[in-house]
Amino acid sequence: MGAIFLWRKVLAGFFTGLVVTVFFVADGLMGGDISVLVGGLFVMIFVLLVIGLYGVPVSVLADIIVPVNVKRMWLFSLLIHVGFVVVPLLIFKTIEPRINILSYIWLVTPIAIFFWVMDEVLKKWMPFLNRTPGRMVKVISGIVSASLILGSLSWFGFSDNGVLSGKPPLTKYYVPEDYRGWLYVYYDRPGKPALEEEGDFRVVRFDEEGAAWTSTEFKGAYVLENEYYFIFDEGVEKKIPRGMIHYGPMSGFSSTDLGDYTNIEQIFIGTEEAFNRNRDSDYTKFIPKPDPERADYEILIPEAYTGWVKIHTPPESNELPDQTIKVGENGEAVFPYEGITLQSEYDHFYYITESGKKRIPQEHISEIYNFPGLIVIYIGPRENDDPFPYHEYLKEKES
């Protein structure tokens, strides 16, 4: 029965993981990203694993180390919970100075404090879970907890994906003085020049349109340790304020027509307000098209629509109409031009919202099917890769 206090730790860890997941999902939904409903499950599994393998052992160790009769036991317990976040990171920082430990501290410390709060609350609300463990239970729990803590720290620091592995190079970014908006770095491009080097830094120079191309391999980045400068015509450099630098995701795609673009770095330069108005980047805008003369199409889809979008192309006219295709609430549209072909890599797909247009993520645009008089695209997350049932569609149309 002395080990019953372990259940209190497990409950505190579970509630902490649940709250972290709720915050993650709520933040995504407020930003209009419904995909977090699925991603939230994976976040919860990951958070619970981290808490189970590190947070719970630390909390168990705190109960074992701090004597029951000590004054302000809660304070010593809090210091241990937070200390096992901060101290290891400080040690890692001494080993690899380029690690930005503040980002980890800001992220993990509130979780550690909330875990401690939940543990203290359970002590008050469920006193039957607060029994003092016996000596044998303490010894076994201490050995197991210490082993899990050391194992977790070793994995976090020294595994292939640990903070001390790889040591991504530092980068300096030079941006034209008047440029505001999304910047794109296209890495691993054969035939493009390698990045220059200035001391410990690689150098990325953007053109007037905000693009940079290089054959250099992307090896990760310490984004907060990199340096960002406006470059003036006279060669004068001016450091860009941190408040104007906003980071987008690393992206990429593979296309039969356009090739493989596996590492595209995205950075937004501008005010917070401008970034919030322009969160949808377009990393395909500078990629050369197979047909340079071809104009881009703009496909506008109702915000709540998920499923097959059917664009009918009856041979009513051979003259190209406006490049905008408006899809109805039923997922169908008519575009009277037989010569149209859509390609998700460089045509523009948007949801229509009350506040305007919102770009549809590339991963939510399926392969495009071109049939006689009909173009079909699946919009939204897919549960399977079944093709469009064209023959069933024809039979239904004829009946």
Question: Which pLDDT score is estimated for 98?
Answer: 64
Instruction: State the DSSP code for 289.
Output: P
Question: Which pLDDT score is estimated for 14?
Answer: 93
DSSP-assigned letters across all residues of 131-199: PPPPHHHHHHHHHHHHHHHHHHHHHHHHSTTSTTSS-PPEEEEEEETT--EEEEEE-S-TTSPPPEEET
Phi, psi (deg, nearest 5) at residue 23: -65, -40
Domain residue ranges of the chain, discontinuous segments joined by +: 2-158, 170-277, 298-398
Question: Which pLDDT score is estimated for 289?
Answer: 65
Instruction: State the DSSP code for 215.
Output: -
Q: What residue has token string 């200035």?
A: 198
Q: What residue has token string 């719970």?
A: 56
Burial class (CB in 10 A: 0-12, 13-18, 19+), 159: exposed
Question: Which pLDDT score is estimated for 367?
Answer: 75
Rounded Cα–Cα distance for residues 330 and 218 (Å): 43
**Alpha-helix residue ranges (DSSP H) falling in 236-297:** 272-277
Mean pLDDT by 10 residues, the chain (399 residues): 72 92 83 72 89 90 79 86 90 75 83 92 79 72 86 79 66 92 90 88 91 87 78 85 85 61 86 83 74 75 90 70 85 80 78 84 79 87 80 80
What distance lies between CA 2 and its chain's CA centroid?
A: 43
Rounded Cα–Cα distance for residues 101 and 27 (Å): 23
SS3 content of the chain, % helix, strand, coil (to 5): 40, 20, 40
Residue pair 393/312 in contact by the 8 Å Cβ criterion: no
Instruction: State the DSSP code for 52.
Output: I
**Type of residue at 21:** T
pTM, whole model, 2 decimals? 0.49
- Per DSSP, the three-state class of 117 is helix
Phi, psi (deg, nearest 5) at residue 54: -130, -50
Burial class (CB in 10 A: 0-12, 13-18, 19+), 162: middle
Structure tokens at 223: 């984004």
CA dihedral 218, 223, 227, 233 (to 10 degrees): 60
Closest CA to 310 of 397, 383, 369, 233: 369
Rounded Cα–Cα distance for residues 109 and 115 (Å): 10
Residue pair 264/271 in contact by the 8 Å Cβ criterion: no
**Type of residue at 125:** W
